Amino acid sequence: MITSVAVLGSGLMGSGIAQTAAAAGFRTVVYDVVPLALDKSLAAVARSLAKFVEKGQYTVAQRDEVLSRLEFNPNLAAAAKADLIIEAVTEDLAVKNELWRSLDGIAPPSTIFASNTSSLPIAAMAAATRRPDRFVGLHFFNPVPLMPLVEVVRAVGTSRETVEAAFAFARQLSKEPVAARDTPGFIVNLLLVPYILDGIRAVERGVASTHDMTPVAAWWKNEAATVDDYFFQLKCAARRLDYETVTAKLFEPAVNGRRRWRPEIDSEEVFLWHLGIPAERAGDFLDLFRSTRFEREAFWKFLGLSGRVYPKPTPRFVQRVLEKANESASVFSVQLFQDWLATAGVMSKDPAADRINLPGTIGPQNWSYVSPLSLEELATWPGNRGILELNKRTGRA
């Protein structure tokens, strides 16, 4: 029976798992080799619990009870005493296995080992221990206190009793456990990665824009050459970088969850200097810089436009986007039709304001659009001539 829990790693996922376990009544030890990281983890959990109090989901007394069940300790021996040890350190098999080998020698034989990995083989970690029958995957999703799904991953050597204990534990956390085989990506990522790749291939073939869910004018103005703030926070947590310090150096303040690069971050050398990581270890961060910092300039060139890159979308810019789309294998969509009307001045508002199928919305009118012109007006609309000429030039009419 599981009565105590230890969480290895005090990053975003580790802190969330620890908070959730403590909230479910488990005495929980959070282990990290960096004491400062433990201090930040405690502060993060306290902030999270404060939000629950503000929303009326916890009382102050309940918050204090959760915090009282948490112990933040840089001593691995303290974590080894738990009935269940959940690993949530960086996604590096060598790092994980070194930790498992150390724990395997000091933890009681009855202790269950679990990894929160999202992609690495559970069997490869279990093989580093002398308890493959008591090794299981427990893959939580972020933010852990809110996301109900937990993938329970059974490796080839995992016993039925261990799987049952993992399921019972997840249910005690008020989660929805699902059984997954020890295959790359388990369930969710197995479905997600091909979906993302299909999207990339669609862009490569010209079937759709990377921002098809957002009107091109709104994307250019609000999203182009920006970085998703939450995504960057996750990257910093994975590398144990101080998110607040790094973002203050690299970005303007976040607006609607997006961060725009500071003007002075204008080269890879400057970027790496502020990031504080050598180039040979900053591959993923460099990829992010290269794909976003000069996105506007690259897209401007792709459209065949010259001169100054305007931060606000002009009618000529939108027209060139539509022409590029029509030169590919794509078809006119609701978005393109809407953008054509905006370009011709028929729509009095920003296309983004009239968009029905905004990202993340679900409803009976999703993927629909009420034209400001009647069918009779559309038949004689002067803009039709421009569309016809465009289709003729690109061999579509």
Complete DSSP assignment for 9-44: --SHHHHHHHHHHHHTT-EEEEE-S-HHHHHHHHHH
- Domain coordinates in residue numbering, the chain: 4-188, 226-293, 299-393
357 is catalytic: no
Q: Tokens 């093989």 map to which residue?
A: 127
Instruction: Give pLDDT tens digits along the chain (397 positions).
Output: 899 999 999 999 999 999 999 999 999 999 999 889 999 999 999 999 998 998 899 999 999 999 999 999 999 999 999 999 999 998 889 999 999 999 999 999 999 999 999 888 999 999 999 999 999 999 998 889 988 889 899 999 999 999 999 999 999 999 989 888 888 767 666 555 554 455 445 444 444 444 443 456 677 888 888 888 888 888 888 888 898 999 999 999 988 888 999 999 999 999 999 998 888 888 888 888 988 899 888 888 888 888 888 888 776 777 777 676 556 544 444 555 655 565 556 665 554 555 444 443 434 444 445 566 665 666 676 666 766 666 566 555 5
CATH topology of domain 4-188: Rossmann fold (3.40.50)
Which position among 10, 118, 209, 326 bears the catalytic label? 118
Contacts of 45 (CB under 8 A, 6+ apart): 15, 18, 19, 67, 70
Which position among 10, 139, 223, 326 bears the catalytic label? 139
115 is catalytic: no
323 is catalytic: no
- Token readout for 305 is 């436009």
274 is catalytic: no
- The Cα-based distances of 2 to 32, 82, 96, 265, 390 in angstroms read 22, 8, 22, 50, 68
- Token readout for 118 is 């999202």
- Token readout for 265 is 């971050």
Report how far residue 275's alpha carbon sits from residue 298's, in angstroms, rounded to the nearest whole number: 24
| Helix (H), strand (E) counts: the chain | 19, 10
User: Tell me, what amino acid is at 243?
Assistant: Y
Report how far residue 278's alpha carbon sits from residue 58's, in angstroms, rounded to the nearest whole number: 44
* pTM to 2 decimal places: 0.54
Which position among 189, 222, 328, 330 bears the catalytic label? 189
